[in-house]
Structures are given as structure tokens and as C-alpha cells.
């Protein structure tokens, strides 16, 4: 991979390598483990991505924050002994390309399928993620079916967003959709969503764009090829049980995830591709 003037390869004290972007229009970090973006800050603005202060960046462990890539299943697999959220977020990806233009940097990574245990994913396929960095962030996850049979999977771009105060934060743009919470529902979403307890909502028939209204400003989140999304905050009790997560950090974060889950599972015919995408920006 040929680097550009604004891009370098760095590593944490624990030895994990990441792509560091320091350009005129944004700064960003993308780890090779999990192809996980952990920082995106447009120039002159506040960060758009949250990572726990307790994160220690260990090999083989998912990073608590950023944008974990959940693939080829989201959440707990029907086989409960399999890894939660699939295999992509803890695998070592290959950095393929960095392309820098005057107003854009594009970073592309692929997951070498030889690393994926066939027990979990027996299908011939290609998995690629592209990060398009401007004053906005666009993430595009493409699954290509190289087999002779149709493949079906669930997935999510599990984005952690920052807020200075979760109780003063609301999510607009989910009105008109339905949601399931803690396996109950579906319920109609008629109003803006606020936070006063643990939140774990899976939305279906969701509009393509939401806005997270925080005391620091409004974050716009768009989705492509995704009519489902997930809204999550662990609140008090679950925060105490989470790894790499301080007890009080639920005050400062939420997840709003572009997804293909439940009846919105991705179905890809032989030779075809599916791209799940999200675009994130300050309004």
C-alpha cells in the first residue's frame, strides 16, 4: 500500500497498528484489527466518534468505541458459543489503498478470507470497507458473493457517538418506524427518542436519515441499503458489567448503527455485491 502525505502507519503501546490521517480537512484513525475507525474529527470542529477512556487496545479483542464492523452476524449468534457480533471486528484486515485528493482521502481495506474460520462462514466471498474522509465521514462495507449459492447474513456499522450529556440528548428521524426493545414489540415510534434508562432498540422500516441532537450540536447520520438500525445506551447497571468501559461513561455516549438485521437481512445472489453505508457529519 502506497501512503499519501497526510497518512502514516502508527502503533499503540500495545502494538496494534493503525492508519493515522492528519489532513487539512480532518483527522482520523483506522485500526488494521477490525478495520475499525476510532477517530474522526473535521477540522475546526468537535470529534464525531467516541472511544472509552478505559480502552487498552489488545490483540484479538474488540475496541470499545469507534465503528466496530459486525459481520457476518449482528449480536449473539444462534450458536451462543460463537463470537458476539461475528468475526470481522477482531480479525486483522489488509490495507489495500490510500488515495488522497485536494478535498478527500479514501482508505480501503479488505479482510483476507483465509483468516475466517469456515465453521463460522463457509461461503466464498470478499469483504471490503472504504472510508471516504472529507469534512464528513462515509463508510462503505461491501460483501461480494463469489460462491454459486445465495448467501444471507446480518451486519452493522456499530457507531459510537459522543455527547456531553445523554439525558440532554435526543434522536430525531425515527418517527414512523417500528422498534423491538429487549425482544418485545414491535412498537410504533411516534416521537423523538430521549434517554432515561437502558436503551436497546432495533428499528425496522426506518427512514434513511436521523439527527442526534446533543448540547454540543447536531450530528446527522445517513444510511444506505439499510432499512433497519440499532439505538443503544447501556445506562447504569450494564455499564458496570461491560469490559473496557468506565461506570459513568454511559453519560457521554450512544450508539446509532446502520444495520441489516432481522427481516432486513442482506441477501446476495451469486456474483452480486451488497454495500451497507453510513454517512456522518456535524450539521
Three-state SS string across the chain, please?
A: CCCCCCEEEEECCCCCEEEEEECCCEEEEEECECCEEEEEEECCCCCCCCECCCCCCCCCCCCCECECEEECCCCCCCCCCCCCCECHHHCECEEEEEEEECCEEEEEEECCHHHCCCCCCCCCEEEEEEEEECCCEEEEEEEEECCCCCEEECEEECCEEECCCHHHCEEECCCCCEEEECCEEEEECCCCECCCCCEEEEEECCCCEEEEEECCEEEEEEEECCCEEEEEECHHHHHHHCCCCCCCHHHHEEEEEEEECHHHCEEECCCCEEEEEEEEEEC
- What pLDDT, on the 0 to 100 scale, is given for residue 243? 93
| Catalytic residue IDs | 158, 257
Look at residue 1 and tell me if it is in a domain: no
Look at residue 2 and tell me if it is in a domain: no
- What pLDDT, on the 0 to 100 scale, is given for residue 163? 98
Look at residue 201 and tell me if it is in a domain: yes
Look at residue 235 and tell me if it is in a domain: yes
Q: Residue 195 maps to which CATH number?
A: 2.70.98.10
- What pLDDT, on the 0 to 100 scale, is given for residue 102? 87
Q: Which cell is 75 given?
A: 449480536
- What pLDDT, on the 0 to 100 scale, is given for residue 130? 98
Domain that holds residue 209: 7-282
Q: What is the mean pLDDT of each run of 10 residues along the chain (283 residues)?
A: 83 96 96 98 98 96 97 94 96 95 94 94 97 98 98 98 98 97 94 97 96 98 97 97 96 98 96 98 97
- What pLDDT, on the 0 to 100 scale, is given for residue 3? 75
- What pLDDT, on the 0 to 100 scale, is given for residue 253? 98
Look at residue 268 and tell me if it is in a domain: yes
- What pLDDT, on the 0 to 100 scale, is given for residue 5? 81
Q: How many domains does the chain have?
A: 1
Q: Which cell is 192 given?
A: 423523538
- What pLDDT, on the 0 to 100 scale, is given for residue 105? 96
Amino acid at each position: 500500500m502506497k501512503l499519501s502525505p497526510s497518512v502514516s502507519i502508527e502503533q499503540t503501546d500495545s502494538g496494534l497498528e493503525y492508519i493515522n490521517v492528519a489532513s487539512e480537512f480532518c483527522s482520523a484513525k483506522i485500526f488494521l484489527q477490525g478495520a475499525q475507525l476510532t477517530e474522526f474529527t473535521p477540522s475546526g470542529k468537535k470529534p464525531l466518534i467516541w472511544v472509552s477512556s478505559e480502552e487498552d487496545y489488545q490483540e484479538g479483542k474488540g475496541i470499545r468505541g469507534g465503528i466496530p464492523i459486525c459481520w457476518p452476524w449482528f449480536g449473539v449468534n444462534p450458536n451462543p458459543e460463537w463470537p458476539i457480533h461475528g468475526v470481522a471486528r477482531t480479525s486483522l484486515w489488509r490495507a489495500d489503498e490510500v488515495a488522497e485528493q485536494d478535498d478527500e482521502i479514501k482508505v480501503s481495506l479488505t479482510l483476507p478470507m483465509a483468516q475466517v474460520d469456515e465453521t463460522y462462514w463457509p461461503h466464498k466471498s470478499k469483504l471490503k470497507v472504504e472510508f471516504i474522509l472529507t469534512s464528513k465521514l462515509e463508510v462503505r462495507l461491501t460483501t461480494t458473493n463469489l460462491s454459486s449459492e445465495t448467501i444471507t447474513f446480518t451486519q452493522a456499522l456499530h457507531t459510537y457517538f459522543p455527547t456531553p450529556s445523554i439525558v440532554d440528548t435526543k434522536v430525531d428521524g425515527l418517527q414512523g418506524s417500528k422498534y423491538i426493545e429487549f425482544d418485545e414489540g414491535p412498537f410504533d415510534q411516534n416521537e423523538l427518542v430521549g434517554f432515561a434508562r437502558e436503551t436497546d432498540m432495533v428499528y425496522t422500516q426506518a427512514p434513511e436519515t436521523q439527527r442526534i441532537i446533543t448540547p454540543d450540536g447536531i450530528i446527522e447520520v445517513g444510511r444506505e441499503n439499510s432499512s433497519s438500525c440499532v439505538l443503544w445506551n447501556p445506562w447504569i447497571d450494564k455499564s458496570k458489567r461491560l469490559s473496557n468501559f468506565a461506570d459513568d461513561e454511559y453519560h457521554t455516549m450512544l450508539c446509532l448503527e446502520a444495520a441489516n438485521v432481522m427481516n432486513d437481512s442482506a441477501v446476495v445472489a451469486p456474483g452480486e455485491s451488497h454495500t451497507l453505508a453510513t454517512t456522518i457529519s456535524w450539521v
